[in-house]
Amino acid sequence: MSIDETHHPALQSWVESANAPETDFPIQNLPFCVFRRGEAPPRVGTRIGDEILEVTGLSTLKTVMALSRKALAELRLLLSRTLRADNPDPPKHLIHPIYECELMLPVEIGDYTDFFASIFHATNTGRIYRPANPLPPNYKYIPLAYHGRASSIVVSGTPIRRPEGQLYDGTPPPAVGSSRRVDYEGEVGCFIGLGNALGQPIRMADVEDHLFGLCLLNDWSARDFQRWESQPLGPFLAKSFATTISPWIVTMQALEPFRVPRFSRPLGDPPPLPYLDGEDDRERGGIAITVEV
């Protein structure tokens, strides 16, 4: 992946709202979605300003996610040229106003893994269970994670019912009732497109070939249930009543201009084990993302 003409900051679109300086959806972004307008069947689209451009011939994003990196770059170029202000034949019949569209879960999710990616979050959580030694001893060596319930991932805006479960105040038996401590977590979701065969690892240098795009994610949590249920097997019902994701998948291509150098390893931290140390990552850096809640 590299910066190409689709990232040029001066590009403008014939969709006027995409040229507003405050928009999150300029022609340089072009995130994918799946939407429905009226009684029509769901279709793949890309967001441009306050509109959705229907990507014709596609009813599911699975096809797009399975494309090679090269084909994805070509598709992005095609969408960019289609939407540019200098397109002599703009396909206005493929444009749908966002307020007339229902946004769907952008893709059927097969599996969902929740990584304990923030050292601050891991330390804060650890303090509840192990005040003297909050950060687990494995934290700096192995990516800690657990599988979540894929079937309760819904699109942002879906009404969420406050879950019922066991409320334990330290004296058995636990009471049963609605969670009093429903919490949210601002996270980034990563969509894995191309998979691997069972038993065939993916080398760090090839990771980006498998990463299709990112979205915002709210990992809803019932903290009272979580504290009672999560030892020894980890969070379960406290997390699986709902996970909401943004309807927009921002592609890795769109994020290429936001590369920053990789952080230096904090003093005293062990070096990453060789199989987790991406040379590519060292050279190309990471992507700077600020999540606001």
Q: Which positions are catalytic?
A: 121
Whole-number Å distance between alpha carbons of 59 and 84: 24
Q: What are the contacts of 160-166 at 24+ separation with CB within 8 A?
A: 160/220, 160/241, 160/242, 160/244, 161/241, 163/222, 163/225, 163/237, 163/241, 165/222, 165/224, 165/225, 165/229, 165/237, 165/238, 166/225, 166/228, 166/229
Q: What are the backbone angles phi and psi of residue 257, rounded to the nearest 5°?
A: -70, -10
Among the residue ranges 69-77, 97-105, 233-241, 252-260, the one whose residues contact a second copy (CB under 8 A): 233-241
Residue 207 within binding range of a second copy, rule CB under 8 A: no
Residue 141 within binding range of a second copy, rule CB under 8 A: yes
Q: Between 70 and 161, whose beta carbon lies closer to a second copy?
A: 161
Residue 275 within binding range of a second copy, rule CB under 8 A: yes
Length in residues, the chain: 293
Whole-number Å distance between alpha carbons of 96 and 45: 9
Cβ atoms of residues 51 and 95 within 8 Å: yes
Choice from 38, 88, 201, 268 touching a second copy (CB under 8 A): 201
**Residue 66 DSSP label:** T
Cβ atoms of residues 35 and 51 within 8 Å: no
Residue 158 within binding range of a second copy, rule CB under 8 A: yes
Residue 222 within binding range of a second copy, rule CB under 8 A: no
Residue 15, token pair as written in the block: 């969709």
Choice from 125, 179, 218, 253 touching a second copy (CB under 8 A): 125
Which amino acid would we find at residue 72? Answer: L
Minimum CB distance to a second copy, residue 231 (Å): 6
Among the residue ranges 69-77, 89-97, 216-224, 227-235, the one whose residues contact a second copy (CB under 8 A): 227-235
Among the residue ranges 10-18, 69-77, 124-132, 254-262, the one whose residues contact a second copy (CB under 8 A): 124-132
Between residue 58 and residue 117, which ones bind a second copy under the rule CB under 8 A?
110-111, 113, 116
Choice from 30, 229, 245, 250 touching a second copy (CB under 8 A): 229
Q: Tell me which residues touch a second copy (CB under 8 A).
A: 110-111, 113, 116, 125-126, 129, 136-138, 141-142, 144-152, 154, 158, 160-161, 163-164, 166, 168, 172-174, 176, 195, 198-199, 201, 228-236, 240-242, 270, 273-275
